[in-house]
Structure 1
């Protein structure tokens, strides 16, 4: 019962944050669209090309937003040969939310 209540509290907080962010144009769905978009670079590939379904990104939830921004932009620049996203942009914030959704169990 105690674990169920704790899970409920965590999920409620997450949903509240997601609704607030969605109003600002930041969402996991938008992050997913970016993750699957080949237009982030010039190679015709997307993040999902190397990480289908978030494969090998289970660690993403262990990093803070600044570190994930750095990692994501490195991949966009090198693997996708694209321009980095601005760290404070809605696009990057959405991508970060989506990357964190791959986090495995603790």
Structure 2
């Protein structure tokens, strides 16, 4: 009986960890922000916004508007393919960009 209980606890913890890994994270957002793989010209978001420069306003926009602005940059500045606005990568990127908000957020 004890073995079944601990097996069930283990399986539930694995399921919860798996679900958490599939959701948006700031760490994934940072990786995307610094990655040159969002585009085709060797640049990243950090190329134009080192340390989040000029993104202090990011937290003032709703996620939909910020996704649109971000995709415009990916398309034009990075020469890349826009991300799914509702996808995990875009949500992670938005989550990370909002960390650059100024003190008045």
Shorter-chain TM range is 0.7 to 0.9
List aligned pairs for 1:1-106, cutoff 5 A: 22-106=20-104
| Distance across 2 between alignment mates of 1:59 and 1:82 | 23
| Distance across 2 between alignment mates of 1:33 and 1:105 | 24
CA deviation string 1:50-70 (max 9, x = no partner): 000101100001000001000
* TM-score (ref. length: structure 2): 0.78
| Distance across 2 between alignment mates of 1:47 and 1:27 | 17
Q: Which runs of 5+ in 1 are unaligned?
A: 1-20
Task: Name segments (4+ residues, structure 1) moved above 4 Å.
Answer: none
CA deviation string 1:35-80 (max 9, x = no partner): 0000100010000000001011000010000010000000000000
Aligned length: 86
Computing the radius of gyration from Cα coordinates, the structure with the larger value is: 2
Q: Which runs of 5+ in 2 are unaligned?
A: 1-18
